[in-house]
Amino acid sequence: MINQNAGKIAPKEILENIPKLVASYYTNEPDVAHSSQKVSFGTSGHRGKSSNNSFNENHIFAITQAVCEYRLQEGITGTLFIGKDTHALSTPAELSALQVCVANGVRCKIAKNNGYTPTPLISFTVLEANKNSEILSDGIVITPSHNPPSDGGFKYNCTNGGPADTNVTTIIENRANEILQNNLEAVKKVSLQVALQSELVEEFDFITPYVKSLSKIIDMEAIKNANLKIGVDPLGGSGIAVYEKINEIYGLGLDIVNSYVDPTFSFMSCDHDGKIRMDCSSPYAMASLIALKDKYDIAFANDPDFDRHGIVTPTHGLMNPNHYLCVAIWYLFSYRMSWNTNLKIGKTLVSSSMIDRVVESIGKKVYEVPVGFKWFVDGLFDGSLGFGGEESAGASFLRFDGSVWSTDKDGIILNLLGAEITAKLGKNPAQIYAEFEEQFGVAFYERIDAVATKEEKEKLKNLSPNDITSKTLASEEIVGIFTNASGNDAKIGGLKVTTANGWFAARPSGTEDVYKIYAESFVSKEHLKLIQKEAKEIVLLSIS
């Protein structure tokens, strides 16, 4: 059900009480006897709220100590690059982390002037630092992504620049919870004053090297020469200064709206449920920029840590993330002439099958993985994947010469790619996707939730194809049942069922008593609803 405030500027009464939120970070103490208060690394780090004891100073002390111990164990002795976004809890978490890092003798670099650093800039910086060095560096990104202003998040990026894989996060998570269990006895920390004055902490310009290098991955000259009118909404996030620097260096004349930081994010339009959520793939959260669509040839936005992209065109408004992924893939593999012809295209198994149809049409191969960008890191790092993208509007790709750019999601280059496409082809990405629909059919895609107990979710997580007895789905023969991804054979943590003209995937939620059903039909909306209905029946039968 859509909330009455969806798409409207957030009313003052729902704005976050920032002093209370920050006070809770320092005063509330988690009790690891409650699972909801433990350190838990999901698909993108530990996330929580200070008000319910799931993101507090003790969590950050414990996680950072665990990261320092992991670095020591792995012989990682280079710089730890630390970035943060504009959520209210990000700066307190950065300060807590520095206290522990300095006590452990870890050299850190943070943004100048208490500034903010987008996720892709941390990945880019780590890769650049390690390119010709035997002493390896790594990174921490402090962000809860697009989540509400009340939330905090903390993520570790390895020496390959990408989000740590499950093996690494399990080590860090288990050790952090052990530290919490033992009342932080293992935590080494100095006072905040000592940390900030330490020679181990250095301010660093993350922005200029990244922006200067953009010409190695995006045709910035073509964008400038096209004299496009481009609108940018940073959604009050960490990359405002990045777009300002792009204007300074490349002279694109980007029109930047909401170019200020407000930890309440009071300028945001409410999301579908009436909450403030900086989701650049939501038409409700993006209502303000969509209202300006006729003013620009193309416009775009990012979430607070800038790892996601949102594309707005005058012809179609906000593009569905799946639709833009299709266009980006088609364009890159058609126009990046220096790329190796054997490069594969990474997609998550819950992304649209339109991608598969587009990829087949250009003679390339799909590399399908479970949900989570971490599955693309190795392929982007070694240059075997030209592109890696997920349905939630996050992607990255290689430079013009086929070398690695970032191994984490980069919403900046995806947005600029949309401008390059428009500049060079004379039509925007939404118009190109409309041509795909004429050629390959219309895809009807939706994600819904279904109720499930903890026990049922656990069963769903551990299903095997033999547990599915159904032979048909929405009157079509089932042609594939997967509990492991077809690309890398990694466990899905759920189930995917496919037919000739449709599919569904079911995965348990990590935080709620529900499971997520992703479904798609190339027949009709009614066929999609039938797939969703029968998906629930198939799942219920298999976990009961």
Q: Is the pLDDT score of 124 beyond 90?
A: yes
Q: What is the pLDDT of residue 544?
A: 83
Predicted confidence at residue 510, as pLDDT, reads 72
* Of the candidate ranges 174-188, 390-404, 511-525, the one whose mean pLDDT is the lowest: 511-525
State yes or no: pLDDT of 116 exceeds 80: yes
In the CATH scheme, what is the homologous superfamily, with its name and number, of domain 1-423? Alpha-D-Glucose-1,6-Bisphosphate, subunit A, domain 3 (3.40.120.10)
To 10 degrees, what angle do helices 57-74 and 166-181 make? 130
The pLDDT-based confidence of 511 (bands split at 50, 70, 90) is low
All CATH 3.30.310.50 domain ranges in the chain, comma separated: 444-543
Q: How far apart are alpha carbons 360 and 333 in whole angstroms?
A: 12
Q: What is the pLDDT of residue 513?
A: 83
Residue 525: helix, strand or coil by DSSP?
A: helix
Q: Cα separation of 421 and 427, whole Å?
A: 7
The architecture of the domain spanning 444-543 is 2-Layer Sandwich (3.30)
For residue 258, pLDDT over 90 is answered with no
Per-residue pLDDT tens over the stretch 202-250: 999 999 999 999 999 999 999 999 999 999 999 999 999 999 999 999 9
Which pLDDT tens digit goes with each residue over 165-214? 999 999 999 999 999 999 999 999 999 999 999 999 999 999 999 999 99
The first and second tokens of residue 190, run together, are: 């100095």
Q: Find out whether 364 and 343 touch, Cβ atoms under 8 Å.
A: yes
Burial track 67-92 (b if 16+ CB lie within 10 A, e otherwise): bbbbbeeeebebbbbbbbbbbbbbbb
Average pLDDT over residues 360-384: 96
In angstroms, the CA 321 to CA 412 distance is 14
Using pLDDT thresholds of 50, 70 and 90, give the confidence band for residue 443.
very high
Q: What residues are labeled active site?
A: 145
Tell me the average pLDDT across 397-416: 98
DSSP 308: B
Q: If you ran DSSP here, which 8-state letter would residue 313 be given?
A: E
Mean pLDDT across the chain: 96
pLDDT value at 402 more than 80: yes
Q: 1 pLDDT exceeds 90?
A: no
What are the backbone angles phi and psi of residue 151, rounded to the nearest 5°? -90, 155
Strand order in the sheet with 201-204: 41-42, 45-49, 151-157, 138-142, 80-84, 108-111, 201-204
Enumerate the CATH 3.40.120.10 domain ranges in the chain, comma separated. Answer: 1-423
Question: Binning pLDDT at 50, 70 and 90, where does residue 431 land?
Answer: very high
Rounded percentage of the chain residues whose pLDDT exceeds 90: 96
- Token couple for 143: 């962000």
Residue 22 has pLDDT above 70, yes or no: yes
